[in-house]
Amino acid sequence: MKFIEGGVCAAKGFTAGGVHCGIRKNKDKKDLSLILSEVPASCAAVYTTNLVQGAPILVDKRHLSDGIAQAIICNSGNANTCNADGIQVAEKMSQLTAQQLKIRTEDVVVASTGVIGQPLDITPIAEGMPSLAAALSKDGYKDATEGIMTTDTVPKIVAVECEIGGKTCRIGGIAKGSGMIHPNMATMLVFITSDVAIAPEMLQKALSGDIQSTFNMLSIDGDTSTNDTVVVMANGLAGNAVITEEGEDFTAFMQALNTVNVALCRMIAGDGEGATKLLECKLDGAADLKNARIAAKSVICSSLLKAAMFGADANWGRVMCAIGYSGADVDITKIDVAFRSKAGTIVVCQQGAGVPFSEEKAKEILLENEIEILVSCHAGDACATAWGCDLTYDYVKINGDYRT
């Protein structure tokens, strides 16, 4: 397996594009994106479990009941959530897309991101549809990524190439996500494409399984969004034998999908609103996977730990505290903690108690922009990784006037 260029256009048969249609006031920012497969594709999705859900999610659940899709349309600047006419607008977006591309309305996945509770005017979307369709190209993945960004400061793009069933296959993805990120199913908005031939039910199985160790282990601020959606389309143009059951080919696909999702998780965490550091908690030696995940994510979610990491303060007690209230079944007296970055590694706790360490060296390690928090439970063989970021003054500034 290797990383390649191309994002959602890396796989055979996919094009993408993005334009500014007028949803956002800033004309320099694209606000409407489109991804198209030249043939109908197997499609799987996972959505937020927040009881307040964006209208696009309700529409997508209907459209994807047959496990087939051919296009994804997404706007930024407005979440189309908590609107009386939200479903009608989302359906109209699908219809406009289908008419422009000459495909079935039911084969269009629709998504929206931005401010909640403000009506979404369909007019700029309708007027921008011809130019959006004209923008579709193999190089359009960068514009498509820009069109789904809100408070993101960097585009999030990845693609990998691997071999499945003797055929060269590709999987690529783009994502948006910087704030209101604490997924409980999937995350933010993530669109993934592949030319692998795989049955819809196996694609859904792969996605639903992988998010437990990727997007569900990611947190920026503890807020689960109303519009969280992850969508995967696989059009089969790689020419491998269709994956219809578990086996060697399914395992290879899962590994490639996981590689894409982990990369996107790291990008999202590193670009958290106001963040200066990517945090990665690697926990090993847990009694079982469930407890490993609970403890690791609790560490990443701790506001006190996030603030300490911002200040490059090796306050390891906050790691222990987060594990202690996590609900994980662990023996606190067996836990070791260390911090690691490219500046080195320092052990700060052994068997649940502090050990002498150099504060100067610890600060040097924690001043780097990627920090690993290493936790060993010494209770079994299970391990888990969670991703997050530090908590800075700028997070409050960004969200203090997000709507206005």
Sign of CA dihedral 102, 45, 112, 121: positive
**What is d(CA 41, CA 104) in angstroms, rounded to the nearest whole number?**
12
CA 274 to chain centre: 18
Is 187 in the active site?
A: yes
DSSP state of 4: -
Nearest to 76 by CA among 189, 223, 225: 189
Rounded to whole angstroms, how far apart are CA atoms 292 and 116?
34
Helix (H, G, I), strand (E, B) or coil at 294: helix
Which residues are 175's β-sheet partners? 156, 190
Strands 229-234 and 370-376: unpaired
Q: Say how far apart CA 384 and CA 135 lie, in whole Å.
A: 41
Q: Which amino acid is at 126?
A: A
* Cα dihedral across residues 5, 8, 9, 11: positive or negative: positive
Distance CA 352, CA 283 (A): 14
Q: What is the DSSP letter of 290?
A: H
Cβ neighbours of residue 189 closer than 8 Å, sequence gap 6 or more: 74, 111, 113, 148, 175, 176, 177, 227, 228, 229, 230
Q: Which of 81, 145, 187, 392 is catalytic?
A: 187
Which residues are the active-site residues? 187
